[in-house]
Amino acid sequence: MLLPVMMSLPTNSTVGLLLSGGLDSAVLLGTLLERGCQVQPFYVRSRLSWETAELSAVRQLLAAMASPCLAELVVLDMPADDLYGDHWSVTGRGVPGAETPDAAVFLPGRNALLLIKPAIWCRLHGIEQLAMAVLATNPFGDATPEFFADFQSALCRATGAMVRLSLPFAQMTKRQVMELGRPWPLELTFCCISPVDGLHCGRCNKCAERIEAFRAAGMEDRTHYAGEKEQTRSAFV
C-alpha cells in the first residue's frame, strides 16, 4: 500500500536531506538535528553557473552545524547543462534580476532531477525518508503535493521499496521558516544565481528574495554582498 507524502517532521530516525545551501534547507537541517534525527545531507551538482560558490557555502554551513547526528555530505552529479543549453542558468548571462517575478527562475524538471539520485541513494543505503524544504508559497507545478505524491509512488514502483518524501515546510510561509531559523547561522547560507567572486551579488532574483526574507522576519541580514562596504542592510531595501 502506498503511504502519503509526509508533511510533518520525522523524529528519531535517519533522514536524507536535499541541501541546496539556501535559507530553507539550512533551517530544515537545523530543525531535523534539533529533533534528534540522524541526517544524511545531499547536494546535487547540475553544472549550473552558481554551483561552485553554492557548494563551497554548503560545506561551510555543514562545518558550522557539525553534529554527531550529521553525516558527511554526499555530492551527486546530475548534469543539466546538456539539457538547458544556453539558458542563463548555464551561461550566467541574462540572469533574472531583482525586479523579476518568481516564475523567471523556473527550471524545467528541476525537482525531479534533484530528487531522483538522492532517493535511489537512500534506497540503496536503507534510508526510508528523504526530506526537502519546499514551502507553501513555491509557485511551480513540480513543487505541489500532487507532484510529490506521484513522484513518491513512481519511486516505490521503480525500486520496489518505499522511500517516503518528507516535506515538513510544505504548509509554511517563508516568514515562518525564517522564525524557525533564528538559532542557526543563516549568514552562511547561499542562494545567489549570479555570484560575484563567490559572494551574493545582491541584485539577482534570488538575492532580492533573500534580502526580503530577512527584512520581513525582522532579522539582521549578516550576508556579505558583493561590492558592499560596511553598511546596514537597509541600503538594499
| Closer of 168 and 202 to Zn ion (Cβ) | 202
| Closer of 117 and 233 to Zn ion (Cβ) | 233
DSSP-assigned beta bridge partners for residue 155: none
Mask 135-164, x = binds Zn ion (CB under 5 A)? ------------------------------
CB–CB of 151/115 below 8 Å? Answer: yes
Stretch near Zn ion under the rule CB under 5 A, chosen from 5-13, 16-24, 85-93, 206-214:
206-214
Pick the binder of Zn ion from 70, 207, 211, 217 (CB under 5 A): 207
State the Cα–Cα distance between residues 25 and 31, nearest whole angstrom.
Answer: 10
> Which cell numbers hold the place of 71?
553525516
Stretch near Zn ion under the rule CB under 5 A, chosen from 71-79, 82-90, 174-182, 189-197:
189-197
Pick the binder of Zn ion from 201, 211, 213, 217 (CB under 5 A): 201
Q: CB of residue 89 vs Zn ion: minimum separation in angstroms?
A: 13
Q: Looking at this protein, which amino acid is placed at residue 23?
A: L
| Closer of 31 and 49 to Zn ion (Cβ) | 49
CB–CB of 37/12 below 8 Å? Answer: yes
State the Cα–Cα distance between residues 197 and 31, nearest whole angstrom.
Answer: 30
Cα angle, residue 92 at apex, residues 91 and 93 outer, rounded to 5°: 90
Question: Binding residues for Zn ion, how many (CB under 5 A)?
Answer: 5
Stretch near Zn ion under the rule CB under 5 A, chosen from 41-49, 52-60, 133-141, 184-192:
184-192
Q: Does 204 bind Zn ion (CB under 5 A)?
A: yes
**In 19-146, where do the E strands start and end?**
38-45, 74-77, 129-131
State the Cα–Cα distance between residues 146 and 128, nearest whole angstrom.
Answer: 20
| Closer of 91 and 159 to Zn ion (Cβ) | 91
Return phi, psi of residue 64, to 5°: -70, -25
Binding site residues, Zn ion, CB under 5 A: 192, 194, 201, 204, 207
